[in-house]
């Protein structure tokens, strides 16, 4: 029971929601870090600030009652009206963006099918091109669903520290042939002893998206280097750099936005979600990402992970 209680305390503490546990007298038994930071006057052992349960304080409470060893307690999620409005705006915008991104491959697919009915056309070639469009649609849907799971917390990112060199070797090896076709050389610089508290599956997602970004956009003759180093404070920096065409400096802050593509990349078959997924995985692991570079001077994506343990 002690282990279960400790586990529950950690889950509550690290929740991304403003959530509190109340006893039968509305005293705060426990609260998440976000609740303590965002709700004025919230103190464990004291009464919940007035107006929070009634909604009068501009908060929309979701109350989940339960029994704990014969004691009546309630789990209360506190969401402000502005948070709900912002979420609804984000959801609407995301839905519109997905719809827009799906229209292009669907239009091309319909055009190919119409062309295949015309006399004298190479049907087999058109079928191959149609299959590529279907694959593009499938990739987009898969990445949208994956990103949605990351944002909802359904995908667990962190894990006990594990050596990362084998994961990096395997992931880059899988992309070697594709990189060669694009004229991009892949390199890896990583000490065998470096460990990271990130699930291998999630680390593979990060590395694959970083490498694919260079393969798609860096240009023929570019060299992509994935380097990993541990800083003095124990933090781990995973840097993905290439010496390719780069992007305009003004576009660097937007590279992690969903569906954003720099000018040169707009004609690419990419989904525009790769770097957004990288950012979500890294931030859920407690880290941060940043982009550096300029037009004609390549691009570097730095992922900084906090010390493990």
Q: Which CATH class is domain 158-305?
A: alpha beta
Residue extents of the structural domains in the chain: 2-80, 83-152, 158-305
Rounded to whole angstroms, what are the CA distances from 262 to 178, 183, 186, 228, 253? 22, 20, 22, 26, 11
Second-level CATH architecture of 83-152: Orthogonal Bundle (1.10)
For residue 47, what is the DSSP state? Answer: B
pLDDT digits (tens, 9 = 90+) for 76-97: 877 655 454 544 544 555 555 5
d(CA 76, CA 153): 19
- Please give the backbone phi and psi of residue 269, each rounded to the nearest 5 degrees, phi first: -85, 5
Q: Which CATH class is domain 2-80?
A: alpha beta
Q: What is the pLDDT along the chain (309 residues), one digit of tens a residue?
A: 466 666 666 677 666 677 888 888 888 888 887 777 777 777 888 888 877 776 665 566 677 787 777 788 887 877 655 454 544 544 555 555 566 567 777 888 888 888 888 888 888 888 888 888 787 777 667 666 666 666 555 455 656 677 889 999 999 999 999 999 999 999 999 988 888 888 888 888 889 889 999 998 889 999 999 999 999 888 899 999 999 988 888 888 888 876 665 554 444 555 567 788 888 888 888 888 999 888 888 999 999 988 865
Three-state DSSP class for 77?
strand
d(CA 131, CA 138): 10
Q: By the 8 A CB rule, do 88 and 41 touch?
A: no
Q: By the 8 A CB rule, do 274 and 217 touch?
A: no
How many helices (H) and strands (E) would you count in the chain? 7, 11
- Please tell me the pTM assigned to this model: 0.55
Residue 52, token pair as written in the block? 């929070």
How many residues belong to the chain? 309
d(CA 288, CA 187): 23
Considering only CA atoms, which of 166, 293, 284 is closest in space to residue 239? 293
Could you give the dihedral angle defined by the CA atoms of residues 207, 212, 213 and 218, in that order, rounded to the nearest 10 degrees? Answer: 120
Three-state DSSP class for 184?
coil
């Amino acid at each position: 029971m002690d282990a279960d209680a400790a586990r529950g305390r950690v889950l509550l503490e690290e929740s991304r929601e403003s959530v509190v546990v109340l006893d039968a007298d509305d005293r705060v038994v426990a609260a998440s870090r976000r609740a303590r930071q965002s709700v004025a006057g919230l103190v464990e052992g004291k009464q919940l600030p007035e107006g929070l349960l009634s909604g009068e304080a501009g908060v929309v409470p979701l109350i989940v009652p339960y029994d704990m060893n014969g004691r009546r307690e309630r789990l209360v999620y506190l969401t402000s009206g502005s948070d709900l409005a912002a979420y609804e705006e984000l959801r609407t915008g995301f839905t519109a963006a997905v719809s827009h991104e799906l229209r292009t491959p669907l239009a091309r697919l319909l055009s190919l099918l119409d062309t295949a009915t015309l006399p004298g056309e190479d049907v087999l070639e058109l079928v191959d091109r149609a299959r590529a469009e279907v694959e593009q649609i499938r990739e987009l849907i898969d990445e949208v669903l994956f990103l949605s799971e990351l944002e909802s917390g359904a995908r667990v990112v962190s894990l006990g520290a594990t050596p990362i060199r084998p994961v990096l070797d395997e992931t880059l090896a899988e992309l070697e042939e594709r990189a060669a076709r694009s004229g991009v050389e892949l390199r890896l610089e990583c000490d065998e002893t470096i460990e990271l508290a990130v699930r291998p599956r999630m680390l593979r997602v990060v590395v694959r998206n970083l490498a694919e970004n260079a393969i798609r956009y860096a240009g023929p003759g570019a060299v992509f280097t994935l380097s990993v180093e541990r800083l003095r404070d124990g933090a781990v920096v995973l840097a993905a750099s290439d010496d390719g065409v780069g992007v305009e400096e003004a576009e660097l802050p937007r590279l992690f936005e969903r569906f954003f593509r720099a000018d040169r990349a707009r004609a690419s078959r990419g989904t525009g979600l790769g770097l957004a997924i990288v950012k979500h995985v890294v931030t859920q692991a407690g880290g941060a990402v940043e982009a550096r570079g300029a037009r004609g001077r390549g691009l570097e994506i730095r992922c900084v992970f906090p010390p493990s343990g």
